[in-house]
Structures are given as C-alpha cells and as structure tokens.
Amino acid sequence: MFELHGPTPAPRFGLVTGALALALALILAACSALGPDFTRPAASGPDTWSGWHAADESLLMPVDATRALSAQWWQAFNDPVLNRLEQRALDASPDLQSAALRFAQARVQRSVVSAQRGPEIDAGAGIDRQRQSEYGAATRMLDLIGGNRAALAQALSRPFTLYQAGFDASWEPDLWGRVSRSIEAADADVDAQAALLDLARLALASDMARNYFELRTTQRQLGLAREDAAALRERTEIVRERVKAGVVEHGDLDRQQAELAALDAQLPGLLAQEGMGINQIALLLGEPPASLRRELSAPIEAGPAALPDFALGLPSEVARRRPDILVAEARLHRATANIGVARAELHPSIRLGAHFGYESYLGQEFGDWRSRTWSVGPSLSLPLFDRGRRKTVIVLRELEQQEAAVNYQRTVLGAWQEIDDALTAYAAELQRSEHLKDRVQRAADVYALSRARYTAGATDFIAVLDGQRSLLQARRDLVASEGRLSAQYVAINKAIGNVR
C-alpha cells in the first residue's frame, strides 16, 4: 500500500520548472525544417504527339488525343486467351510479387521512421543480489569519518538483494526538422516503390502480350508452312504423273521435290520455336515448362490479331503517368529531403527524459511510497569536432541530389525517345504490311499464270518454280509483318506508360 508523506519541497520543483522552460524555449526557437524544400520539376514535352517527331513526315502516326487508352489495353485485341493469360500473370507472377513485397517494406520502413516523432516509454524491473567492496568507491567515506572502520565496512559490504521497478520516458523534439525530413524521404521512397510496382505491372503485361503475339506468329508460320507443303505435295504428284506420261522431263520432278524438301526443312525449327514460346509464357506465370502446352497449342484463327484504334491521350499526361519518370521524381524528392537530414546533424539536439520507479533492498518495503525514485529534465548534445564528417555528408547529399536531377531529365528525354521510336516503328510496319498484302496478291496472280502457261506448254517449269517461291516468301513475310505490327502496338502502350 502506497503512503503519501506530503509534497516534494518547492525548490526542487523550481529547478524542474526552469529546466522545462529552457527546453520549451529552445523548441519554440526552431521555426522550420532545415534544407531545401522539394519542388516538382517541370517535365519538358511537346504540345502534340507530332511535336518531337524525328523521322520522315510519311511515318507520322495519326492518333486520337481526345481520350486515353484503358490501363488494360490488351483487352482491346478481343482475344480471350490473351486476356486470361494477362490476368493470371498479374495474379501469380513472381516478379510482381517481389515488387509488391518491396512496396510493403517501404511502407513499413516509413512507419519505423515516423515513430521517431513521438516519445518512447519503457518499463523495467529487476532483482539483483549484490555485494559492495570494502575498499571501493562507496566505502571510501569510512576512511574520512574515522571510527571503527572495519566493523562498518563489513556491515556495508554484507550481501543484499536490491529490488527495482519503474518507467522511463524520453522524447527528442524535432528542433531542426531531422525527423520530418526523414519522414519526407521515407514518403518519397514509398512513392518510388509504388511507381516501381506499376513499372513491374507494365513490363509484365507488355512481355506477356509480346511473347503471346510472337507465339501466335510462329504458329501461323507453322500452319502456313504445313498448308504450303500439302499444296506442294499435290503439285509434285501432278508433275510425277506428267513425267510418267512423258509430257515433261524428269528434271522438273526433281526441282519440285527439292522445293518440297526445302519447305519441310523449315518445320523442325518452327516447332522448336513454338515450344520455346510456350515455355517463355509459362515462365512469366511462374509455372513449369510444358504446363501450357495443351492450352496454347489449340487451333487458332488463320487471320492476324485485330489491331484496336489509337487513343493515346494528351502528351502532357506522360510525365504524370509513366512509371519510370515517377520513380526518378521520387528519388529526386528523397535526395532533396536527405539534405535537410544531414544539415540537422550539425545542430544541437535536446532530449527530454523522465523516470519514475521504486528501489529497495528490503523486499517488504519495496512498495512503500518512500522507496520511490524519480528524475526529470532535459539533456543537451552539442556536436563540436568530428574532423568535418557532418559537413562532408552534406556535400555528399547535395551531389546525390544533383545526380538525381540529371537522372530525372535523362529519364524524361529517354521516355520521349522511346515513344517517338515506337510510333515511328509502328507507322513504318503498318505501311510495310500494306505493301506486303499487295505483293501477296500479285505473287499469287503470277504463280497462277505461270502454272497455266506451263500446263499449256507455253513456258518451262523454271517459271513455275520462281512464281511458287515468290508466293511462299511473300506469304511468310506478310505473316511476320503482321506479328511485328501487334508487337509494335504493345511497345507503344509500354512507351507511354499505360498502366493506370
């Protein structure tokens, strides 16, 4: 049971009050955080998508700037298989899970830094068995007061048990903004990790779409090769019968069989390429090889993927949306805040502390009010000499900020270069695809005419082979071009940072 024996004498409270008043005056003297305040940099960019176009005007891609594409831009292809793969990748990709964990770590680290702003309260208790030295500092007074020193020293050095329990509280006022700048830097790091998470999503969606279209292009090439091989075998049998009938020479049959063998030789490579494409998609999903074999080997439509219309939105949105620009901006913000943290280290710090507890060597008196102990007051830490370490850290932080600023501008310029390159490549491939369609039609006409003339005996078999080779090559080139066109559309969405 606690007993109250009256208040502590007034002079003691006067000292405590004076100390607290001094600490409060120092706190109020600190007006603001040290270091420069972060100002979001103005990202340079064109007013229109054609403003920074480096290629020829014929490769300028007309776009719709009145609306923006959906973040799930791959759905515009209306391919249910691609839609399922994209969703599975976003749900289960190991790379995306790692990025999400780093974002969670940054948020937890921000909470750790923010906790420095409040007081710390600890509780402790202990029971110690002690013995004091008969000739230690605590018994030195016996030599000064005289008397029976031996008896007194023996009594004081007798072993005893010390009981202790209490609470300690401390708080360091953020006089120069060290904690607030640290929180600002932690917030910037959270923003950077959030943008990196978006960047991981964008890269994953783009890689999935690109690999999917490459796989479908390979499968279209494979189907085209099998279709052509079947047609060549039928043609070979016709030539064989004509040789037997003595209408044509045996050399024509040899030439036709050589063309068929050359086409058959392409099949193993295409089959291997198909398998590697399936495995690459499985890797993006975090699944073992061949796990998607049945799903992705299903028959597909003969035509290419339908390309959606362009709707890129305003160019000024790129700097606010593209993840790598947001990452560079957040890192510049963090570097700016760290200058304030370094400058705060040059100034004195004050810690307000308080302790209240009980201490007794008599167990039965441990809870008595007279066993209480307490202390309260500020402590001052003033840096005097460290061989210039703190000032050097400030210079280092300023150099890091300058590097972050340069990196930001380089990231912005690199973003616009990727956008212009992607739009130019798409426009060029689109024109090439249109020319290849015309080439296929003309090659088919030439081949049909050469076959008719050969059947009528108006020309030799060399003309038929030339027409056949031209048609086969034109069809292969068109399929490859249509695959690249889909991949370039994916590259445009990746370049503009279309993730939100």
Q: What is the predicted pLDDT for the residue at 367? A: 83
- Exposure string over 273-284, b if 16+ CB within 10 A, otherwise e: bbbebbbbbbbb
3-state secondary structure of 39: coil
- Cα(82)–Cα(128) distance, rounded to whole angstroms? 71
Among residues 310, 317, 331, 307, which one has the least CA distance to residue 496? 317
Q: How confident is the model at residue 264 (pLDDT cuts 50, 70, 90)?
A: confident
Q: What is the predicted pLDDT for the residue at 2? A: 35
Average of per-residue pLDDT across 367-372:
86
- Cα(195)–Cα(430) distance, rounded to whole angstroms? 32
474 has pLDDT over 60: yes
408 has pLDDT over 90: yes
- Give the rounded distance of the alpha carbon of 183 from its chain centre: 21
> Pick the residue with more confidence: 6 or 362?
362
Average of per-residue pLDDT across 268-280:
92
Cβ(191)–Cβ(333) under 8 Å?
Answer: yes
Q: What is the predicted pLDDT for the residue at 432? A: 93
Report all structural domains of the chain as residue ranges with CATH numbers, in order of start.
Answer: 35-92+175-347+404-495 (1.20.1600.10)
Cβ(465)–Cβ(256) under 8 Å?
Answer: yes
**Residue 222, token pair as written in the block:** 């494979």
- The two counts, helices (H) then strands (E), for the chain are 13, 4
Average of per-residue pLDDT across 243-257:
80
- Cα(483)–Cα(73) distance, rounded to whole angstroms? 17
Q: How confident is the model at residue 311 (pLDDT cuts 50, 70, 90)?
A: low
Q: What is the predicted pLDDT for the residue at 257? A: 87
Q: What is the predicted pLDDT for the residue at 116? A: 86
Q: What is the predicted pLDDT for the residue at 68? A: 62
Q: What is the predicted pLDDT for the residue at 281? A: 92
56 has pLDDT over 60: yes
Query: Which residue is listed with tokens 């004081």?
Result: 156
Residues whose CB falls within 8 Å of the CB of residue 199, separated by 6 or more in sequence, listed in order: 99, 323, 324, 327, 499
Q: What is the predicted pLDDT for the residue at 244? A: 84
> Pick the residue with more confidence: 52 or 482?
482
394 has pLDDT over 60: yes
Tell which phi-psi region holds residue 147, choosing left (phi > 0), alpha (psi between -120 and 50) or beta. Answer: left
Among residues 274, 276, 283, 275, which one has the least CA distance to residue 207? 283
Average of per-residue pLDDT across 20-47:
69
Q: What is the predicted pLDDT for the residue at 5? A: 39
Q: How confident is the model at residue 303 (pLDDT cuts 50, 70, 90)?
A: low
Burial class for 390, CB neighbours closer than 10 Å (0-12, 13-18, 19+): middle
Percent of the chain with pLDDT over 70: 88
Average of per-residue pLDDT across 32-58:
82
Q: What is the per-residue pLDDT across 450-471, written as a single tens digit (0 to 9) for each?
A: 888 878 878 777 787 888 888 8
Cβ(227)–Cβ(210) under 8 Å?
Answer: no
> Pick the residue with more confidence: 51 or 330?
330
Average of per-residue pLDDT across 237-266:
82
pTM value? 0.80
Percent of the chain with pLDDT over 90: 34
Residues whose CB falls within 8 Å of the CB of residue 372, separated by 6 or more in sequence, listed in order: 356, 357, 358
219 has pLDDT over 60: yes
DSSP 308: P
Q: What is the predicted pLDDT for the residue at 213? A: 93
> Pick the residue with more confidence: 331 or 361?
331
Mean pLDDT of the chain: 84
Q: What is the per-residue pLDDT across 107-137, written as a single tens digit (0 to 9) for each?
A: 999 999 998 888 888 999 899 988 888 777 7
1 has pLDDT over 50: no
> Pick the residue with more confidence: 49 or 474?
474
